[in-house]
Chain A
Amino acid sequence: MAENVKEHFDIAVIGAGPAGLSAAAKAAEYDLDARAANPDHTPSHILIEGSPLHANTIQRYQKGKHVMDEPGYLDLRSPLEFAAGKREQILKSWDQGISETGINFRANCEVTKITGSRGNFEIHCADGNTISANNVVLSIGTQGNPRRLGVDGDNSHFVQYQLDDPDEYHDEDIIVVGAGDAAIENALALAKNNRVVIVNRKNEFTRAKQGNLDNVLEAINDRNMAFSCRYDASVKSLSVPPPGSVGTVVLNTARGDETLPCHRVIARLGSIPPRQFVESCGIALPNKDPEAIPELDGQYQCNVPGLYIIGALAGYPLIKQGMNQGYDVIEYIKGKAVKPVDHPLLALKFSLLPYLADVDDILALYQQRVPMFSRMNALAFRELIMESDIRYCVSDAQQLNSLQSQGASISQERIRDIESARSADIQRRQSAGLAIKPVTPISPPVITKLLRSGDFIYRHNDYSNSFFTIIEGQVTLSSAEGSDTILGPGQFFGEMSLLSGRPRIGNAVASNDTILIETPRRTMAKLMAANDEVAKGIETVFLQRTLQQFFTPQGSYVDLRDIAKQVKTSHFNTGKYIYKEDDAGEHLYLIRSGTIALSRLENGKEIAIGQLHSGQIFGQMALMGDPTRRESAYAAVRSEVIEISRQPFLALLSKSPESITRLQTETSKQLKSTAELAALPEQASLMSFLLAQGTGEGTNVLLIDENLCVGCDNCETACAETHKGISRLDRKAGVRFANINLPIACRHCEQPHCMKECPPNAIHRESSGEVYINDSCIGCGNCETNCPYGVIKLSYQLPEKPPFLSWLFGGVGPGPGEDKNATPSNMAKEIGKKAVKCDACVDRPAGPACVQYCPTGAAQRMEPAEFINVLNLR
């Protein structure tokens, strides 16, 4: 085609990631049909991609990486194939899809600008060409282009902005620039076979995940490893060598310039978010946040008519979601009113409610009902409901039974629908001569959750941490100490446990005809990170309720709105001081999350004299007559505290005079316990040891008394015998101090680190506090990396052993305990390794096996708050 002829298409898809590919494939299907009717039909669509290959982000994954197909509940709707599997398989199937569907794919064509609107878009490319289109689908993702070094030669072969396979390089000097997770992971992977220097612009690795942080620091300190770090350093200039030989890099460091020879430079400096480009196209963004998501209507159209945005840029980072949107958006452009794939799933969630409205109407109604959600993006709200449960509270057992049986038949119907859709798909594939996709088990459909009026939504001390929003009806919050609070439509509760990770305070009971949205913690956390308004709304109420809980249990939290505005919330990283001994104090502090240690200097040595947990106060003496701090307070784990100065403190006390007595009692109790520990320096140093080991954030810590332990390892044996042959605790490797052994065993943290980034959401917490991993674990190892205490390991399923008595009397099999020499079956190897960790024997009525089977009573599990009693007992 001659360069000066302007091309025109009906649909131009920009960005060939999963969403763009799927959209282009759907558009290509329309072209295929048109060509069947008219052989002269020319493509009415084009897929434009700036890089040489499709699916740039996935191409950049490390070789053999397992790609997930979350969320599991969502079906795929796309002409292209996609199922969880290896990176290579997925890319190959898309390659095939591109040729089979006949996508009009133009690679290496960077789009610099888009102007116009529906019917007359002009797409300007970096090569000078212009393409016109009636509709534009923007699916460029949020990765953007990698941030470059910004020095001469940064675009040469000497500098790489990605690392495909670290094992490709051997015995080289490599400089890795960057301090984020990607840089650290690359540097560590390369250090196995090469000499690596990591260049960090700052003086610490602040952006890294805890696991990566620990690993990189360990590598830097390991003298046997050719791995070093240059802090406070940046790249000043490069001298690019001819390919295959050694060049040099000049670093600008705090102590002057440093020249390092190296074979290659790997720069992992993040990427430039596509915000600037997006704005240049006339797309409106709601705020200044660099990661702001454009406002879209229900058909993914932005404020520019004819310009559609799908995939990660629209706020949907998961592959399957993006692919489904690609399909849907083409249907919308073609004027077809398709329902999104999640439509039937939402319908099921609403199925038992007393409404006769359509899903979209119910969603609109709900969003209106809740002030905090009312200004959210409609698509984001839909997503929120998708990930939440809808709970409906009925009046009596009869209604409950009839609704339950109705629910059962709805579920069956849904399963039948899925089965018939699957068999139709198999038939279609068979007749088209395609391979049959492996069948995955159908997960039970999620329908409206029912409860009866008067049932507990949660109870006092439950470890649940979901967030509840009331749509209709009312919920009564009651606690042992205060009066009841009644909440109505549009209000929310459950934010205390959501934010602090502590068990529930008080009970929540729903009344007749109440409808609730129950949102899981991780959905809420995601939403709060993305949406300031929601985050602020929850924070404010949290503050008011926390203050009310402590100071005016009889009052209403609403009265505290003004006082709540006068207090400040601060974060403290582990080891950071809130105040020091002998400082002059002007605040008291209420712990919002985490653990605060109190310490005192005795003979030049700092000893712990107390530990306080969320919901407790400290430093109150400064406002109660003694302005000099008599102890230091530091964060034993990452903590958040609410700072209250004199004015709001007095205001709080005046609201509820009886709280003065309470405050005095609490203070006396604290003073007594700190005085006791201060008088027992040995116990205090034990306490310091325990806090330094991070036990403060645990809820259920295994402590072995070495004065009683005879080293029989029956704890480990019992653990293995009750947990599929794999012991989840390691006694010998435990950290020891005086007579205490803190074995490697899960402490069931308040805010479990392991739960943070579990792709299939396989890690759960029982309402009694135990954190466990269920069968949906995919063995990705994130939890293993994230756990700072090393209590999670990846392991194959072990073969079953012969029964105990045949070992005892016949010597058959390896006997009780973990069999270190067991070889996993081929089947187990195929399934792969999965994460295993202590579940605190959640299913055992007799309690944890490690404790039950200790012959001498040396092993006990306890809450950190019990440490003091145990230590004093000696």
Chain B
Amino acid sequence: MYVNILNYARRRYFWWSVILLIACSGLYLSQAESLPPNGGSWQGYVLGSIGLFLIIWLSCLGIRKRSYASKSANLQAWVSAHIYLGISLIGVATLHCAFQFGLNVHTLAYMLMCAVIVSGLIGLYAYLRYPRLLVENRANQSFEQRLDSLAKIDKEGLALAANCDTEIQHMISSAIDRTAIGGNLLTQFFGRDRSSVAMPTKGTTSKHSQMLSNEGQQTVIDFLVAKIPNTQKPGEAERLQKLLYILGRRQELLRRLRRELSLQLRTKLWLSVHIPLSMALLVSLFVHIFTVFFYW
């Protein structure tokens, strides 16, 4: 509906970074042929200064985002510029180091910078892709509304089960009790279902049961599906059919809830890599500059 961060202002900052890279390449090529291109020539210093300035400016986004009294341009412009200029930093830095790498603090700073940029690119993908997936998954109902619906059908399910065998009653209440949404980071990230259920064991009394995984409510559904054609009591088939319908609804609701959590996490998780890496980059950059001038 609106313009996204890449297309902001007709990709103004894309062209800015193209111009920046052309200028930097010109500077690189202007180095005297007598010496191999190097970070130590005046061109190398200029390129390094540009890189330093860019890195400091890029890391100021965190402050700019929260300077709520600012009168300057809107945040979207900053983010758009942050992305394009951040990507062009790879070029600037590579030209600055003149393709010389080694096992030293200088290359460490370079590698950290690359890691920051890659995490940023992952973030860019997340920002462009996941909101759309979230919209699709949400299907005009919010997370809270879905939780409400879940609570409501759980209540209906328990009420229905109360009129069934104790076996089924125990199974349904345990399936509801042991429904898991969320969990640890990985579970959330992949939207895994760690639900379980205490299933009655065949041939024994209802007191005996075993704990089974109930991923996607499938175990309970399978049990009901097997049970429905074999009911004896009047009205039981109808109740179980209704329960089956409710479990089907639960299946869908839970899937969407988990997916929403997973997508939300994916939209944000990259930041917790991007920011610490940026901090590390700033430190190593300081070490890089310090060593260059100290050993000069």
A→B interface (CB under 8 Å)? 703, 705-711, 714, 717-718, 721-722, 732-733, 736-740, 804, 808, 816, 845-846, 849, 851-858, 860, 870-871, 873-874
Measured in the bound complex, the distance between the Cα atoms of B2 and A851 in whole Å is 12
Q: Which residues of A contact B72 (CB under 8 A)?
A: 846
Q: B66 contacts the other chain (Cβ, under 8 Å)?
A: yes
Extra contacts besides A703-B1, A706-B131, A707-B1 (4): CB < 8 Å: A706-B134, A718-B68, A804-B67, A853-B75
Are the CB atoms of A857 and B2 closer together than 8 Å?
yes
Are the CB atoms of B1 and A853 closer together than 8 Å?
no
CB distance from A475 to the nearest CB of B (A): 38
Q: Which residues of A contact B288 (CB under 8 A)?
A: none
A736 touching B68 in the complex, CB below 8 Å, given contacts A711-B267, A857-B76: no
**Which residue of the partner chain, among B2, B65, B141, contacts A708 with CB atoms under 8 Å?**
B2
Measured in the bound complex, the distance between the Cα atoms of B75 and A408 in whole Å is 46
Q: B242 contacts the other chain (Cβ, under 8 Å)?
A: no
CB distance from A693 to the nearest CB of B (A): 13
Q: Which residues of A contact B131 (CB under 8 A)?
A: 706-711, 858
Residue of A845, A852, A874 with most partner-chain B CB within 10 A? A852
CB distance from B131 to the nearest CB of A (A): 5
Q: Which residues of A contact B8 (CB under 8 A)?
A: 857
Closest 3 CB pairs of A and B: A721-B68, A857-B76, A705-B1
Residues 88-127 of B contacting A (Cβ, < 8 Å): 126-127
CB distance from B269 to the nearest CB of A (A): 12
Q: Which residues of B contact A853 (CB under 8 A)?
A: 65, 68, 74-75
CB distance from A842 to the nearest CB of B (A): 15
Are the CB atoms of B63 and A737 closer together than 8 Å?
no
Size category of the binding interface on chain B: 35 or more
30 contacts between A and B (CB under 8 A): A705-B2, A706-B131, A706-B138, A707-B131, A708-B2, A708-B131, A711-B264, A714-B65, A717-B66, A732-B142, A732-B144, A733-B144, A736-B138, A736-B140, A736-B141, A738-B135, A739-B132, A740-B1, A851-B74, A853-B74, A854-B75, A855-B78, A855-B79, A856-B4, A856-B5, A856-B76, A857-B8, A857-B76, A858-B2, A873-B1
Are the CB atoms of B142 and A856 closer together than 8 Å?
no
Q: Which residues of B contact A845 (CB under 8 A)?
A: 71
**Which residue of the partner chain, among B66, B74, B130, B144, contacts A804 with CB atoms under 8 Å?**
B66
Are the CB atoms of A739 and B76 closer together than 8 Å?
no
CB distance from A813 to the nearest CB of B (A): 13
Are the CB atoms of B2 and A860 closer together than 8 Å?
yes
Q: B70 contacts the other chain (Cβ, under 8 Å)?
A: yes
Q: Which residues of B contact A709 (CB under 8 A)?
A: 131
CB distance from A720 to the nearest CB of B (A): 9
The dominant DSSP class at the B interface is: helix
Interface flags, B35-77, vs A, CB<8A=1, else 0: 0000000000000000000000000000101111111101110
Chain A residue at minimal CB-CB distance from B78: A855
A714 touching B71 in the complex, CB below 8 Å, given contacts A739-B135, A857-B8, A870-B1: no
Chain A residue at minimal CB-CB distance from B61: A855
Are the CB atoms of B1 and A739 closer together than 8 Å?
yes
Q: B32 contacts the other chain (Cβ, under 8 Å)?
A: no
CB distance from B80 to the nearest CB of A (A): 8
B→A interface (CB under 8 Å)? 1-5, 8, 63, 65-72, 74-76, 78-79, 126-127, 130-132, 134-135, 138, 140-142, 144, 264, 267-268
Measured in the bound complex, the distance between the Cα atoms of B65 and A721 in whole Å is 12
Measured in the bound complex, the distance between the Cα atoms of B79 and A854 in whole Å is 10
Measured in the bound complex, the distance between the Cα atoms of B137 and A738 in whole Å is 10
Are the CB atoms of A707 and B68 closer together than 8 Å?
no
Q: Which residues of A contact B135 (CB under 8 A)?
A: 706-707, 738-739
Residue of B3, B131, B138 with most partner-chain A CB within 10 A? B131
Are the CB atoms of B2 and A736 closer together than 8 Å?
no
Q: Which residues of A contact B141 (CB under 8 A)?
A: 736
Are the CB atoms of A855 and B267 closer together than 8 Å?
no
Chain A residue at minimal CB-CB distance from B142: A736
Chain A residue at minimal CB-CB distance from B7: A857
Q: Which residues of A contact B71 (CB under 8 A)?
A: 845-846
A738 touching B63 in the complex, CB below 8 Å, given contacts A710-B127, A857-B3: no
Q: Which residues of B contact A705 (CB under 8 A)?
A: 1-2
Q: Which residues of A contact B74 (CB under 8 A)?
A: 846, 851-854, 857
Measured in the bound complex, the distance between the Cα atoms of B136 and A738 in whole Å is 8
CB distance from B81 to the nearest CB of A (A): 12
CB distance from A745 to the nearest CB of B (A): 16
CB distance from A845 to the nearest CB of B (A): 6
CB distance from B249 to the nearest CB of A (A): 19
Chain B residue at minimal CB-CB distance from A686: B1
Q: Which residues of B contact A736 (CB under 8 A)?
A: 138, 140-142
Q: Which residues of A contact B67 (CB under 8 A)?
A: 804
CB distance from A702 to the nearest CB of B (A): 12
Q: Which residues of B contact A714 (CB under 8 A)?
A: 65, 75
Are the CB atoms of B4 and A708 closer together than 8 Å?
yes
Measured in the bound complex, the distance between the Cα atoms of B142 and A804 in whole Å is 32
Q: Which residues of A contact B68 (CB under 8 A)?
A: 717-718, 721-722, 816, 849, 853
CB distance from B34 to the nearest CB of A (A): 47
Are the CB atoms of B79 and A856 closer together than 8 Å?
yes
Q: Which residues of A contact B140 (CB under 8 A)?
A: 736-738
Q: Which residues of B contact A706 (CB under 8 A)?
A: 131, 134-135, 138
Q: Which residues of B contact A856 (CB under 8 A)?
A: 4-5, 76, 79, 127
Q: Which residues of B contact A816 (CB under 8 A)?
A: 66, 68
Measured in the bound complex, the distance between the Cα atoms of B79 and A550 in whole Å is 46
Q: Which residues of B contact A870 (CB under 8 A)?
A: 1-2
Chain A residue at minimal CB-CB distance from B77: A857
Measured in the bound complex, the distance between the Cα atoms of B136 and A736 in whole Å is 12
Q: Which residues of B contact A858 (CB under 8 A)?
A: 2, 131
CB distance from B173 to the nearest CB of A (A): 22
CB distance from B283 to the nearest CB of A (A): 15
Q: Which residues of B contact A873 (CB under 8 A)?
A: 1-2
